[in-house]
Amino acid sequence: MTDILWTRPEGPSHATFVFAHGAGAGMNANFMERFAQAAAAVGLTVARFEFDYMAKRALTGKKTPPPRADKLVGEYQRAVQTVAEQTDGALIIGGKSMGSRVAAMLAGSGSLPRRVAGVACLGYPFHPTGKPDLEHWRLAPLEEAKRPVLVLQGDRDQFGNQTELGELTLPDHVALQYLEDGNHDFAPRGASPATWDGNIKIAAKAVADFAQHLTAE
């Protein structure tokens, strides 16, 4: 059974967000912890988990690279099943960077549980860093998702910034929201009026509003 790290709101929960980590840092990473706390503060239950390759790092101390994203879909599905067994109500699946891509892939599969209402992608890796050519873009998981998708992206994200994304036409079921002057972790530059804490709270509120909207339909 997948180990789940829970972050729960003090009051009622609008939905449960199954939250996967990025390629290089696990579920206890600073961004993951900050977002989970901010999301719980606005009424989301957050369920974090680690893919097997990341969990093994803690045991061996060796930083092995992740498998291809499509190889992780089955692990994500098992995590969703574990969370579903321990919760009631709607589920939102998503993650940070690579984790969001894997969630979007699951959302396009035929094995997507009915309780999954939508997908929330935080810093979606639209293309490999330094390779913004259209041949490298990773649009298929978003286009093929069978649920509404919310993408939260820093203005300056090196895996797809606002200027690059402005040239795309995304499907109607995909909504895109930017975090002011944010990088891949939503952190702005020092001279920006925005703050990292503020951007994370904005992103958490956006996911909570997304979940409420979907569950009210």
Q: Mean pLDDT, consecutive 10-residue segments, the chain of 217 residues?
A: 89 94 93 98 97 89 88 96 94 98 95 93 91 80 97 96 91 97 96 95 98 87
CA angle 148–174–33, rounded 5-degree value: 75
Secondary structure letter of residue 140 according to DSSP: H
pLDDT of residue 216: 80
Q: Please give the pLDDT value at position 4.
A: 95
Can you say how many angstroms the Cα of residue 176 is from the centroid of all Cα atoms in its chain? 13
Give backbone dihedrals phi and psi of 165, rounded to 5 degrees, phi first. -70, -25
Specify the residue for token string 């904005």. 202
Query: Tokens in use for 81?
Result: 């099943």
Q: In this predicted structure, what is the pLDDT of residue 217?
A: 61
Yes or no: say if 101 and 67 are a contact pair by the CB < 8 Å rule.
Answer: no
Please report which helix (H) or strand (E) contains residue 131, including its range. none
Q: What is the pLDDT of residue 54?
A: 92
Q: Which amino acid is at 118?
A: G
In angstroms, rounded to a whole number, what is the distance separating the alpha carbons of residues 12 and 29?
Answer: 26
pLDDT of 74 reads 95
How far is 124 from 166, CA to CA, in rounded Å? Answer: 15
